[in-house]
Amino acid sequence: MAKKGFTTYTLREHYKVSHGTVQRLQRNMSITTDTIDRLCKILDCGLEDVLEYIPDPVEKDETR
């Protein structure tokens, strides 16, 4: 967002993104696919620009 000159205020006031959604983004919490789609349209970017896949850590099998 910063690269495009957007602030959370801009998202809330100009694009009517809810305060709750902005908080979820700031806290790296889950958001809906509709929200992701909307952000991509607002920022004129692709999924790879707003998402990063981080796999869960591999847990050791403790039964062995």
Please check whether residue 33 lies inside any domain of the structure. Answer: yes
Structural domain containing residue 22: 2-46
Specify if 57 maps to a domain: no
Query: Could you tell me the CA-to-CA distances from 57 to 29, 32, 39, 63 in Å, in that order?
Result: 18, 23, 28, 18
**Residue 53 located in a structural domain:** no
Inside any domain, residue 56: no
Which amino acid, 25? Answer: L
Residue closest to 33 by CA, chosen among 41, 20, 62, 7? 41
3-state SS assignment for residue 51:
coil
Question: Mapping DSSP to helix (H, G, I), strand (E, B) and coil, where does residue 37 land?
Answer: helix
pTM of the model: 0.71
5-62 pLDDT tens trace? 888 899 999 999 999 999 998 898 999 999 999 999 999 999 998 888 888 888 776 5
Please report where in the chains the tokens 């607002």 appear, as a residue: 42
